[in-house]
């Protein structure tokens, strides 16, 4: 049984007189997420990420398709018994203290009595909010609200955790702490569904990533799969790149760029790469390494979105 | 148990609002004022009633006249309480549902393992319970004040408390519906007051002397009648509560049944709206 399954999910929002204006927020999304994975959903604003999460949490009804959480249809409230959710821009009632937020929202998930009290203390300690437990949340900063939100999402010891921009407003130290919490949760076998604009953060923690744009799933895979380029290689050499080689190679492959410790060759296929290597040898250059080049997740993301816009 | 958690959270929300304390404060002032103002001393010839230390009647009155007098006083106070509850109670509780449905808050609630109707029911029960506590505080207080100051321990006041909680419950079904529909506290208050003080009381309840004068058209009058039976008949219940408190026995209970059905229907309408809505 998968942690999450989306089967041909589509969502069209209607507005205006008689619903004449239609916005297709999600188009035929099919996705499965295994247990124990940290899965991230990326996409520009309006890509459909939040709609996807909201459908999975039954906050939004899909127009077509279906989705399930831990084997139960998302429309079944019991499906949410073993999930935790940290929404983006969440608002806890200002009249509650941090401790009361956890006890109140914990009670809504079915956790009670001594277990609730123990988890409240444990989680406030984990997110570094122990000293603020008796303070009303209306006095909390954005970062503190995020920490409390994370604790709230974990109050029922969920199997699946949805985090929407969890590090939003959190300082760098706090961000690292949250990343560490995510790794601990993953080690404990929890499934984490992450929505974040901070691609460097996503890259650090995610097992798999999906990229959405205009409601369509463009690509899904591991971080390695998404960041490894098919056509670029870094070739390490001893000495400097001869200018004559650059001119000759540029005419025969997609591109060659000389750098301090070697060169980057963009080639159409492996034979073209061998052509570059042969040319280097012909120019008497000693080769020390050949490596497929990796982009950062951000570069891959921008590249993919740009290509989608152009197409 | 989850329902209870929602009710508890709603009570906490209302306990944080100044309006609830203003209502309780006004009740306290009225009760203390009444305790100082009214007293009855027993004589061989009957009871001598005084108001602010001055005898109200020149001669002592018999026990049944004293009971009648106390009931009239209680009816007056309960009438005042009713108006206070309608003003402050609606004002304090109208935001319960719209606040829950605000972006950032609704996500937290709906991501919990709770059915949407259950969430609405918890909010509804929390609102009625908070106002119920205020009603009980005032009416039990009035019962004690009149009992101690006049010696008349009239149990009908307890029944009045239950009737008033029931009346608020019926009205709150409509408030819950409007709150779910508009998702705006100010609009909920305005529409509820519009219904209470213009549409229901002066127009629909007295439609023969107001709306029916505008036209004799059968369809028009049927529509007006339909609206009268669609909305909770607050005026009818108010008249019934006053009659009950005055000791009358021929009370018309039909408005109570109609208001119960109407309040339930509006609450269910709100639950259907909530179920269908995307957040």
Residues A105, A212 within the same domain: yes
Token pair for B185: 């506290």
Residues A23, A165 within the same domain: yes
Residues A21, A42 within the same domain: yes
- A139 has pLDDT over 90: yes
Cα–Cα nearest to A258, from A276, A282, A281, A284: A276
Residues A44, A164 within the same domain: yes
3-state secondary structure of A177: helix
Cα–Cα nearest to B27, from B149, B131, B163: B131
Q: What is the pLDDT of residue A203?
A: 82
- A186 has pLDDT over 90: no
Residue B12 touches chain A, beta carbons under 8 Å: yes
Are the beta carbons of B135 and B89 closer than 8 angstroms?
Answer: no
Residues A204, A96 within the same domain: yes
- A295 has pLDDT over 80: no
Residues A301, A275 within the same domain: yes
Residues A190, A104 within the same domain: yes
Among the candidates A176, A199, A225, a domain finishes at A225
- B241 has pLDDT over 90: no
DSSP 8-state secondary structure symbol assigned to residue A96: S
d(CA B231, CA B201): 11
d(CA A27, CA A213): 10
Question: CATH number for the domain including A124?
Answer: 3.40.50.300
Among the candidates A225, A251, A275, a domain finishes at A225
Q: What is the pLDDT of residue A199?
A: 82
Tens of pLDDT along B5-28?
999 999 999 999 888 888 889 999
- Taking an 8 Å cut-off on Cβ atoms, the answer to whether A78 and B111 are in contact is no
DSSP 8-state secondary structure symbol assigned to residue A295: -
- A19 has pLDDT over 80: no
d(CA A90, CA B164): 37
Residues A208, A235 within the same domain: no
| Cα angle for residues B203, B206, B207 (degrees, 5° grid) | 65
Write phi, then psi, for A250 (nearest 5 degrees): -60, -35
By C-alpha distance, the chain A residue nearest B102 is A91
Spell out the residues 6+ positions from residue B158 whose beta carbon is closer than 8 angstroms to its own.
B139, B140, B143
Mean pLDDT throughout A161-166? 90
Q: Distances from the Cα of B112 to the Cαs of A122, A152, B228, in angstroms?
A: 21, 11, 39
Which pLDDT band, with edges at 50, 70 and 90, does B4 fall under?
very high
Across the interface, of B15, B104, B113, the residue whose CB is closest to A78 is B113
CA neighbours within 13 Å on the CB side: how many for A219?
19
Give residues 247 to 276 of B whose Cβ lies within 8 Å of A: 276
Domain that holds residue A256: 229-310
- A91 has pLDDT over 80: yes
Across the interface, of B9, B12, B104, the residue whose CB is closest to A89 is B104
**Complete DSSP assignment for chain B:** -HHHHHHHHHHHHHHT-HHHHHHHHHHHHHHHHHHHHEEEEEETTEEEEEETTEESSSS-B-HHHHHHHHHHHHHHHHHHHHHHIIIIIHHHHTTHHHHHTSTTTHHHHHTSS--HHHHHHHHHHHHHHHHHHHHHHHHHHHHHHHHHHHS---THHHHHHHHHHHHHHHHHHHHHHHHHHH--HHHHHHHHHHIIIIIIIIIIITTTTTGGGT---HHHHHHHHHHHHHS--HHHHHHHHHHHHTT-S----HHHHHHHHHHHHHHHHHHHHHHH---
What's the total number of domains in chain A?
Answer: 2
By C-alpha distance, the chain B residue nearest A79 is B113
d(CA B61, CA A147): 70
Write phi, then psi, for A29 (nearest 5 degrees): -85, 120
Residues A71, A206 within the same domain: yes
Q: What is the pLDDT of residue B122?
A: 96
Token pair for B160: 């009045």
Across the A:B interface, residue pairs with CB atoms under 8 Å apart total 86
Among the candidates A225, A256, A286, a domain finishes at A225
Are the beta carbons of B76 and B67 closer than 8 angstroms?
Answer: no
Residues A50, A164 within the same domain: yes
Mean pLDDT throughout A37-50? 89
Residues A183, A305 within the same domain: no
Residues A188, A275 within the same domain: no
By C-alpha distance, the chain A residue nearest B8 is A104
Question: CATH number for the domain including A262?
Answer: 3.30.70.1560
Spell out the residues 6+ positions from residue A33 whose beta carbon is closer than 8 angstroms to its own.
A2, A3, A4, A5, A39, A191, A193, A208
Domain residue extents for chain B: 2-276
């Amino acid at each position: 049984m998968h942690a999450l399954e989306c089967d041909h999910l589509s969502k069209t929002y209607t507005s205006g007189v008689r619903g004449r204006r239609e916005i297709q927020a999600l188009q035929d999304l099919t996705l499965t997420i295994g247990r124990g994975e940290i899965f991230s959903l990326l996409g520009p604003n309006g890509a459909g990420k939040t709609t996807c999460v909201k459908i999975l949490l039954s906050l939004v009804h899909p127009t077509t398709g279906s989705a399930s959480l831990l084997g139960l249809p998302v429309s079944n409230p019991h499906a949410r018994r073993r999930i935790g959710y940290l929404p983006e821009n969440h608002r806890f009632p200002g009249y509650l203290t941090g401790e009361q937020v956890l006890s109140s929202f914990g009670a809504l998930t079915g956790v009670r009595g001594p277990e609730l009290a123990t988890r409240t203390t444990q989680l406030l300690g984990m997110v570094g909010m122990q000293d603020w437990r008796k303070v009303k949340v209306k006095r909390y900063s954005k970062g503190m609200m995020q920490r409390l939100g994370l604790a709230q999402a974990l109050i029922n010891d969920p199997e699946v955790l949805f985090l929407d921009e969890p590090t939003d407003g959190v300082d760098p130290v706090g961000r690292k702490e949250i990343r560490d919490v995510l790794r601990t949760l993953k080690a404990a076998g929890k499934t984490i569904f992450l929505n974040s604009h901070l691609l460097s953060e996503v890259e650090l923690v995610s097992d798999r990533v999906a990229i959405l744009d205009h409601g369509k799933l463009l690509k899904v895979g591991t971080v390695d799969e998404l960041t490894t380029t098919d056509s670029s290689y870094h070739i390490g050499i001893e000495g400097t790149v001869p200018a004559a080689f650059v001119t000759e190679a540029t005419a025969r492959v997609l591109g060659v760029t000389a750098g301090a410790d070697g060169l980057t060759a963009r080639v159409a296929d492996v034979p073209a790469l061998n052509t570059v290597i042969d040319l280097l040898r012909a120019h008497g250059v000693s080769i020390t390494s050949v490596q497929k080049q990796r982009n950062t997740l951000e570069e891959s993301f921008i590249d993919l979105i740009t290509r989608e816009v152009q197409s | 148990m989850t329902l209870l958690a929602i009710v508890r959270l709603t009570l906490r929300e209302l306990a944080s609002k100044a309006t609830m304390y203003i209502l309780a404060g006004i009740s306290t002032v009225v009760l203390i004022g009444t305790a100082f103002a009214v007293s009855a001393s027993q004589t061989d010839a009957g009871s001598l009633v005084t108001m602010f230390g001055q005898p109200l009647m020149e001669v002592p009155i018999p026990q049944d006249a004293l009971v009648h007098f106390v009931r009239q006083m209680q009816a007056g106070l309960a009438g005042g309480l009713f108006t206070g509850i309608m003003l402050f109670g609606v004002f304090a509780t109208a935001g319960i549902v719209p606040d829950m449905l605000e972006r950032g808050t609704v996500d937290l609630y709906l991501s919990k393992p709770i059915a949407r109707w259950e969430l609405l029911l918890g909010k509804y029960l929390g609102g009625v319970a908070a106002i119920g506590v205020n009603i009980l505080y005032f009416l039990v207080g009035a019962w004690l004040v009149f009992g101690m100051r006049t010696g008349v321990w009239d149990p009908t006041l307890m029944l009045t408390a239950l009737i008033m909680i029931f009346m608020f419950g019926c009205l709150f079904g409509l408030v819950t519906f409007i709150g779910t529909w508009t998702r705006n506290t100010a609009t909920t208050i305005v529409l509820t007051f519009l219904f209470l003080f213009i549409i229901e009381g002066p127009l629909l309840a007295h439609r023969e002397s107001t709306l029916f004068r505008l036209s004799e058209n059968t369809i028009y009058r049927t529509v007006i009648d339909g609206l009268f039976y669609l909305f909770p008949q607050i005026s009818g219940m108010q008249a019934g509560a006053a009659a009950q408190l005055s000791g009358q026995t021929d009370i018309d209970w039909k408005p109570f049944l109609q208001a119960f059905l109407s309040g339930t229907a509006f609450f269910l309408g709100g639950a259907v709206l909530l179920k269908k809505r995307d957040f």
